[in-house]
A and B are shown apart, each in its own frame.
Chain A
Amino acid sequence: EAQVTQNPRYLITVTGKKLTVTCSQNMNHEYMSWYRQDPGLGLRQIYYSMNVEVTDKGDVPEGYKVSRKEKRNFPLILESPSPNQTSLYFCASSTNQGTSGYNEQFFGPGTRLTVL
């Protein structure tokens, strides 16, 4: 089954304790992205990757790191989490934009993170 998986699905942690949220896709997609979703603000892009070893900042990258060592995996790292990073996080993947501009993104089920 074609899918994007994220782990963990729920996490409660404390300020300053490093954590990693994993994301994996089995569709051989080049493009992967991380978003956070907060009430009233919608989905905001944190980081994205156009392909292996190619990553770039989105709209809200502060406090986050990513890596793309393999095509299927795109982990999100919070080196020193703070309460303002409490949010719902989504990983997504798609093929790179073609000439038509059509690029449906497939989302993982989300990770609900609470930082105390």
Chain B
Amino acid sequence: RKEVEQDPGPFNVPEGATVAFNCTYSNSASQSFFWYRQDCRKEPKLLMSVYSSGNEDGRFTAQLNRASQYISLLIRDSKLSDSATYLCVVNPHRAGSARQLTFGSGTQLTVLP
């Protein structure tokens, strides 16, 4: 089983739609969680961290469910500029391990005019 799993999509949604992505992780001891955004042929960039209490940044809402080991990203009122691949990223806590982040393979979103 992959450490971090995402639905690869693609998700094709009309402008203004609300879209949600889920991501599951296998290590129950994982400490921190993030969503990164990657535009086509560009480097990944941090979109937002995911806090236990859930957090919101404008049109974006991230939630964490530790019991079920998944995180989610909700995008409201989607814009054409939201078209990108969204990477779920987990910081697994492994005793003796110094590696920092494990990346999911990404969910591709295309917002259509």
Contact = CB atoms under 8 A, between A and B. Distances in A.
Contact of B106 (A42, A44, A48, A105): A42
Nearest to A100: B32
A90 B44 contact: yes
Contact of B32 (A33, A50, A102, A108): A102
Report, as a range, how many residues of chain A touch the other chain.
20 to 34
Interface in B32-86: 32, 34, 41-46, 49
B109 interface: no
A44 B91 CA distance: 14
Contact of B104 (A42, A50, A56): A42
A86 interface: no
A40 B87 CA distance: 12
A89 to B, nearest CB: 11
Contacts of B95: none
A94 B100 contact: yes
A41 to B, nearest CB: 6
Contacts, number: 54
A13 interface: no
B100 A107 contact: no
A110 B34 CA distance: 21
A105 B101 contact: yes
A15 to B, nearest CB: 25
B103 A42 contact: yes
Those 5 A-B pairs whose CB atoms lie nearest each other, nearest first: A42-B105, A107-B43, A101-B32, A43-B103, A101-B31
A28 interface: no
Nearest to A112: B41
Given A56-B98, A108-B43, A110-B42, A101 B104 contact: no
